[in-house]
């Protein structure tokens, strides 16, 4: 995972609530055995019509969305399945963060392991972002803040360990492996064995 400290981008807004992982990447694209190249299938059934033509009404297909890395989405983004293909597809497409008032548990955990930022802000900030698509925001991972145009900053909650891993680009498997002795001890000493 690449380290991520700061992001600056205009926002793309998807106001729908409860955007589930089947929308982020439909199941029929999960037959891959690799984690690369999923960006082309991101939001596939919203981006394309039945014949594979771009849907001009979908925000990601509009010129002003080009190059944006921050998504603003309705409440409960990423609900549904545990497919890590969802953050893989978002990242491969070029997005780096989502801002919402609530982000589903497994999606959030998967995102953090891949350097995709799940950012939860208060209702008022969120409502303002939904109403003002395309504004330039900057995200500071170290300070855990989103800065809005005009300079006002709001902070977002992030687990200390997850933040440390993001800032350093740390692979959590390596961290787990350092516990090998404790794991072995646990296995030997536990009163019952699975």
Q: Which residues are near other proteins by CB under 8 A? A: 15-18, 20, 22-23, 26-28, 30-35, 45, 50, 74-76, 79-84, 102, 104-106, 109-110, 113-114, 159-161, 164, 172-173, 175-177, 179-180, 182-183, 186-187, 190, 192, 194
Query: Nearest distance from residue 66's CB to other proteins, in Å?
Result: 25
Based on CB atoms, which residue is closest to other proteins, 11 or 76? 76
Based on CB atoms, which residue is closest to other proteins, 69 or 76? 76
**Which helix H or strand E contains 140, and what residues bound it?**
strand 136-140
Secondary structure class of 132 (helix, strand, coil): coil
Based on CB atoms, which residue is closest to other proteins, 6 or 161? 161
Query: Nearest distance from residue 23's CB to other proteins, in Å?
Result: 6
Which residue in this structure is represented by tokens 């399945």? 81
Query: Nearest distance from residue 154's CB to other proteins, in Å?
Result: 20
Q: Report d(CA 84, CA 32) in Å as an integer.
A: 12
Q: Report d(CA 118, CA 4) in Å as an integer.
A: 13
Query: Nearest distance from residue 6's CB to other proteins, in Å?
Result: 22
Q: Report d(CA 167, CA 52) in Å as an integer.
A: 39
Based on CB atoms, which residue is closest to other proteins, 19 or 148? 19
Q: Report d(CA 108, CA 106) in Å as an integer.
A: 5
Query: Nearest distance from residue 186's CB to other proteins, in Å?
Result: 5
Based on CB atoms, which residue is closest to other proteins, 14 or 148? 14
For residue 66, the tally of other CB atoms under 10 A from its CB is 11
Based on CB atoms, which residue is closest to other proteins, 138 or 164? 164
Q: Report d(CA 190, CA 20) in Å as an integer.
A: 39
Angle formed by the axes of helices 105-112 and 85-93, nearest 10°: 50
Q: Report d(CA 72, CA 50) in Å as an integer.
A: 26
Query: Nearest distance from residue 25's CB to other proteins, in Å?
Result: 11
């Amino acid at each position: 995972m690449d380290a991520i400290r700061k992001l600056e981008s205009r926002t793309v807004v998807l106001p729908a609530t409860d955007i589930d992982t089947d929308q982020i990447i439909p199941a029929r694209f999960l037959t891959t055995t690799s984690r690369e190249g999923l960006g082309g299938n991101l939001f596939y059934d919203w981006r394309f019509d039945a014949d594979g033509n771009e849907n001009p009404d979908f925000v990601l297909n509009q010129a002003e969305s080009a190059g944006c890395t921050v998504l603003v989405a309705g409440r409960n983004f990423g609900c549904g399945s545990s497919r890590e293909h969802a953050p893989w597809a978002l990242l491969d497409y070029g997005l780096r963060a989502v801002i919402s008032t609530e982000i589903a548990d497994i999606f959030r955990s998967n995102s953090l392991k891949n350097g995709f930022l799940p950012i939860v802000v208060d209702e008022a900030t969120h409502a303002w972002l939904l109403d003002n698509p395309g504004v330039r925001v900057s995200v500071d991972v170290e300070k855990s803040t989103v800065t809005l145009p005009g300079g006002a900053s709001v902070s977002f909650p992030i687990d200390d360990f997850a933040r440390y891993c993001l800032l350093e680009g740390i692979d959590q498997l390596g961290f787990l492996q350092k516990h090998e002795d404790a794991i072995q001890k646990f296995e030997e000493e536990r009163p019952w064995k699975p």
